[in-house]
């Protein structure tokens, strides 16, 4: 695997928001995005919506709105410390396991030993911000089309 094989494209930018409905209203009515997918991820403590201009999983980058389900969630802690705003940048990959192995070989710490389930059944992991220039970097392998 060479450097050109790691990432397909920018998948989305994650924005931490205190109120998902309010954020959806702003992003759709004022900015012109449309909701492509909405779900609750109890394991990660968030309610989320994926917004975009194409279809979910298309090559167009998307915006992910993330609202906390409770005060103990990572997003709630992020908002308490930083206020609402950009929480993470996400790169799309074809093979999360291969990319994870390559990143680890190159000294990048991943937050989870094994991938977690993300939006719409995707497989995800995160690179530690201290290892990738200060930004929380999510890595996503989209769910198969028949998911």
Sequential pLDDT tens for the chain (147 residues): 455 578 888 999 999 999 999 999 999 999 899 999 999 999 999 999 999 986 665 667 899 999 999 999 999 999 999 999 999 999 999 999 999 999 999 999 999 999 999 998 999 999 999 999 999 999 999 998 754
Domain membership of residue 146 (yes or no) is no
**Domain membership flag for residue 86:** yes
**Edge-to-edge strand order for the sheet containing 62-68?**
34-41, 46-52, 62-68, 9-16, 85-92, 137-141, 123-127, 116-117
A 10 A CB-CB count for 119 gives 28
Task: Return the CATH number at 25.
Answer: 3.10.180.10
Alpha helices in the chain, H assignment, sequence order:
20-25, 74-82, 96-105
| Enclosing domain of residue 45 | 3-141
Give the chain's domain count. Answer: 1
């Amino acid at each position: 695997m060479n450097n050109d094989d790691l990432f397909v494209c920018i998948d989305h930018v994650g924005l931490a928001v205190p109120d998902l409905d309010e954020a959806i209203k702003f992003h759709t009515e004022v900015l012109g995005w449309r909701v492509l997918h909405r779900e609750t991820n109890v394991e990660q403590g968030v309610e989320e919506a994926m917004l975009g201009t194409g279809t979910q999983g298309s090559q167009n980058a998307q915006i992910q709105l993330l609202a906390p389900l409770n005060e103990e969630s990572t997003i709630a802690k992020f908002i308490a410390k930083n206020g609402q705003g950009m929480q993470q940048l996400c790169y799309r990959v074809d093979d999360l396991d291969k990319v994870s192995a390559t990143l680890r070989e190159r000294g990048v710490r991943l937050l989870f030993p094994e991938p977690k389930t993300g939006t719409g059944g995707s497989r995800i992991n995160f690179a530690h911000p201290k290892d990738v220039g200060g930004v929380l970097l999510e890595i996503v392998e989209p769910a198969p089309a028949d998911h």
